[in-house]
Each structure stands twice: as C-alpha cells, then as structure tokens.
Amino acid sequence: MIRILAICGSLQAKSANLELLRIAASSTPEDVEVTLFDGLRLLPPFNPDLESTDVPPAVDAWRRAIADCDGILIASPEYAHSLPGALKNGVDWVIGSGELERKVVAITAAVPSPERGRLGLQALRQTLSAVSATIVGGDPIARGAGFDDRVEVLISALIDAIRRAPPRNP
C-alpha cells in the first residue's frame, strides 16, 4: 500500500486547492491511500525553544503524518509572490527533525489561469530543497476544461516517482 499525505497550503474552507486534492484522492488506484492533513491551522508559530522542551501535540501529529507517508502532494495558492505562511511554518517544524528529508513531494496550485501561481510554487520548491525533497510536477493547474485530467496526470506521476524512489533510512 502506498500512502500519500495531501496538504493544502490554503486554510480556506472552500479552497480550489483543497478541491484539487480531493480530485487527486478520488483518482488513485486501489493500492494507494491518500490522507488529507488538515492540521496546519493548529501548528503554533515555529519556535526552536519548544524543541528542547515539550513538543506541542499538533507538531507531533504533523511530524507523525509526514513520517508515516511514502510521498506528499501539496496544492497551494500563491500569497504575495510566495507560499502561504501556514505552509512555510509547517515546513519549518520538520526541517530539523527530518521527517521531510528526501521525501517525494508533488507540488502544484489550482489557479484561474496558467500564468498564475508560479512564484508561489518556485518559493515552495526552494523551501523544499532544504530537505532534499524529490519534486514532482511544479506547474500550476488552471481550473476549467481538462482540470481533472491534469490532476490525474500529476497524481500518477507522484505514484510512479514513489515506486521508483530508493528506500529512505528510518
């Protein structure tokens, strides 16, 4: 069984990126399980001082979710030419602890037109380079005709990359 963690960079209840993740989850083979992680909103601001004391329960849940998956699918909007603060905060919480290290991660953004979202995805790609993630995709997917098909192509590419990836050290 391949386990994929789906992460929406938007905290909006009716986010187009959340809908993209739901489409991806519904178009996977039977041997693939997609779990939507909705805990970014619960993470406290990253504070290295908390690492030396009691790690907050929300951070522990975040780290376990990442550690327990084989790959990650991130769909995220662009905010101010970068990635959303909640998503960056989540990545910050796992930089030092290593759960995200060398994971296979597909990234995209549900956008109104193909030229939108590129700077946010570029910032996300750069941030994920800190953990040597293997990036799949990286282009925004414009909503409209063919949207579902392009989402299915991305999730298939992610599954193929996970199957080809060398085993990670525990």
Closest CA to 90 of 49, 25, 37: 37
Residue at 68 is within a domain: yes
Structure confidence by residue, pLDDT tens digits, 87-114? 999 999 999 899 999 999 999 999 999 8
Domain that holds residue 55: 2-164
- State the chain's maximal CA–CA distance in angstroms: 51
Burial class from Cβ neighbours inside 10 Å (0-12, 13-18, 19+) for residue 110 reads buried
Residue at 65 is within a domain: yes
Its pTM stands at: 0.95
pLDDT for 166 equals 84
Interhelix angle 85-95/118-128, rounded to 10 degrees, is 10
- Phi, psi dihedral angles at 165 (to 5 degrees): -70, 140
CATH of the domain at 11: 3.40.50.360
Interhelix angle 147-164/16-26, rounded to 10 degrees, is 60
Indicate the number of domains in the chain: 1
Structure confidence by residue, pLDDT tens digits, 115-164? 899 999 999 999 999 999 999 999 999 999 999 999 999 999 999 999 99
